[in-house]
Structure formats: structure tokens, C-alpha cells
Amino acid sequence: MKKNFFARLFGHLSTVGKHRSLVRKHCFKLGLYRQGLMHDLSKYSFVEFWTGVKYYQGDKSPNFAERKANNGYSYAWLHHKGRNKHHLEYWIDYDLSDGATMMGLEMPACYLAEMFCDRLAASKTYRGDSYKDSDPYEYLMLVKDHYIIHPQTLSELEKMMTILKDEGEEAAFSYIRKEILKK
């Protein structure tokens, strides 16, 4: 049975609030205070917010449900990725060598670090009590082959996720502070 409007409204607000709170906490550990405070504010814009309420599920992004309803596209996602530099899709452009091929640009270190925080928080938010430090890594392994992403960005993201999986959060944050953000 489909949840009523108020259940979806408060569920979506709660999910977005929890996610943003976790990203903020993780960004602050890395000294990314502004990014932590500003993270995903576009989720409160009309197109993203009401899509989130309409397609709220609680255990996955509402953008997946919007894609199913709209024959494969999500207006909310198109809006979101175009305004948030911590998404790899923000960094896709045409390859100048032929002008037709899409390519991933190398992400600046601060946005790569925020992307790590975002994925960690998303895994914790959607997996809840079932969360394991291997979850973000396993998700990356599942989807990375169809990403358009700069090879160096993917390599660094995979390394951060591997450290998280094998050594835990504190080791991953230490690596990001010392090796990614110091560049």
C-alpha cells in the first residue's frame, strides 16, 4: 500500500536531514566546513524536494522510482547533478579530440573527498542498522564499469573505499586528509 502524503513528506525530510547531518559530520572531520554546511541544499529546491516526497521509499533514492515512472529519466536527478560538484556526473564533458565522445574530467580533491563523505553517508542512511564499512566499496564495484569518470578520480575513489572496507572509517579519513586533500 502506498504511503500517505504526510508519511512520505516527513519520511523524506527525515532521510534528507539524516543524510545531510552525516555528510556534514564527515566533511567536518576533513576540514571541509563550508562543503559540509552547503551539501545537497538543492534537495530543498522545488523540483528535487517534491520529487523526493512523491517517490519517497525510505530505503533508496526517490530518483530511481521517478526514472521508472518517467521512462528512464529523473528531472530531480538532472537538476541535482548539475548543481552539486561532489557528483562525478557534474564533471562530464565532451572530449576535445573528437568533439563527440563524453569523458570524465578529473575532480578537484575537495569534491572527491566530499563524494566519499556523500557515499558513506548514503550507505549509512539507506542501510541503517545493516550498514557495514564494505557497503560503499561493494556499491562502487557494482556500478563503476558504466561510469564516465576520469581514471585518476576513479582510482582515488576506489582506494578510499578500499581503505574504508579494510581498515575502517578513521583510517580512510586519515588517508584522505594526508594524501588527497594535501595535494
Give the amino acid at 14: S
One digit per residue, the tens of pLDDT, for the chain of length 183 reads 467 999 999 999 999 999 999 999 999 999 999 999 999 999 999 999 999 999 999 888 999 999 999 989 999 999 999 999 999 999 999 998 887 899 999 999 999 999 999 999 999 999 999 999 999 999 999 999 999 999 999 999 999 999 999 999 999 999 999 999 996
DSSP 144: G
Q: How many whole angstroms separate alpha carbon 114 and alpha carbon 16?
A: 16
What pLDDT, on the 0 to 100 scale, is given for residue 96? 87
Whole-number pLDDT of residue 58: 87
Q: Are strands 102-104 and 92-94 parallel, antiparallel or unpaired?
A: antiparallel
pLDDT at 71: 86
What is the pTM (predicted TM-score) of this model? 0.94
pLDDT of residue 1: 43
Domain ranges (residues) in the chain? 5-180
What is the helix (H) or strand (E) element at residue 172, kind and residue range? helix 169-175
The pLDDT, as a whole number, for residue 59 is 87
